[in-house]
Amino acid sequence: MMAFSKPLCKFLTLLVFFSSLSAKASDTVAKPSVIKGTHFAAKVFAPTSQTEATPIVIVLGGSSGGMRENHAQTLADNGFIGVALAYFRYPGLPDTLDNIPVASVSDAIDKLATQYDSAQFGILGISRGTELAFLAAINDERINAVAAIVPTNVAWHGQRESSAWKLNGAPVFGLSFERRSQKPIFERASEALLNDDLVTKAQFPVEKITGNILLLSASADRIWPSAAMSEDMLKYLQSKGFKYSVSHRVLDTGHRFNEEVMGKAYLLTAEHFKLTLTR
């Protein structure tokens, strides 16, 4: 028998894993449908064997914008209705991450509720999408589970404006740092987090979320300190007597997950939503 090196074995294992996901999805997930609103566009991936009790999970990407279709399809392959929602940098939507209405998520839920019978909604945010995920869950009690990949515990400034988000017509205060600097972005973000007064002002009141929370941070994050911010969120929730469960897993990776780590993240988030949303 031919012997493979350890790295090659790992690569072949991952190749089989993702190939099986793709093949299985073609058999068990229906052709995606498209829904649109004034401030969002989304592709909906639904299992062919869905029932009235099938939970819906909305997926929000980060600073690159657009839709995270792979994440939504993988969730559908795991028995959920996966919704890849775009809130900027998509035809008909803003080009930059500035003053995005938090209500875009609730608007999508309103539309989904007219098409599907499920009363259970979860949300998965990635990087800057975790800001919108937390804000949406804080302000919409229909969201009963949150998963956040490389998350932040505070709102940050927009890409051009002082605020990335808008809530009830007003800008959400965002922590800021020098946009153009020779300092690495990780260093600028870390320095901004030293200002306790501004951090308190930008911090999400996540104790208002009505459901379980999963935080997946990166040990070698060089964009922002996702592991430290996740720990700060844990401590904050404990101080508020948060009545739902919250867990934090630090993954051995950088801010942008490679295929191996993303495969693990897929499994962890699917397990989180199954434990939280399925009964």
Percent of the chain with pLDDT over 90: 81
Residue 102 pLDDT class (50, 70, 90 cuts): very high
Alpha carbon distance 276, 19 (integer Å): 28
Q: What is the pTM of this model?
A: 0.89
Asked whether the predicted pLDDT for residue 3 surpasses 90, the reply is no
Alpha carbon distance 205, 152 (integer Å): 13
| 273 in Cβ contact with 145 (< 8 Å) | yes
Asked whether the predicted pLDDT for residue 8 surpasses 90, the reply is no
Residue 50 pLDDT class (50, 70, 90 cuts): confident
Please, is 229 exposed, middle or buried when counting C-beta atoms within 10 Å of its C-beta (0-12, 13-18, 19+)? buried
Closest-CA residue to 236 (of 259, 269, 203): 203
Residue 9 pLDDT class (50, 70, 90 cuts): very low
User: What does the pLDDT look like over 238-263, one tens digit per residue?
Assistant: 999 999 999 999 999 999 999 899 99
| 150 in Cβ contact with 221 (< 8 Å) | yes
Which CATH architecture fits 30-153+205-277?
Answer: 3-Layer(aba) Sandwich (3.40)
Alpha carbon distance 192, 194 (integer Å): 5
- Could you tell me the CA-to-CA distances from 270 to 80, 102, 147, 193, 263 in Å, in that order? 9, 24, 9, 31, 11
Instruction: Give mean pLDDT, residues 148-154.
Output: 98
pLDDT value for 279: 59
Instruction: Give mean pLDDT, residues 125-148.
Output: 98
Asked whether the predicted pLDDT for residue 5 surpasses 80, the reply is no
Neighbouring-strand partners of residue 125: 60, 148
pLDDT value for 52: 75
Could you give the 3-state DSSP secondary structure of residue 83?
strand
More confident residue, 2 or 270: 270
Return the DSSP state at 174.
Answer: -
User: What does the pLDDT look like over 190-206, one tens digit per residue?
Assistant: 999 999 999 999 999 99
Residue 119 pLDDT class (50, 70, 90 cuts): confident
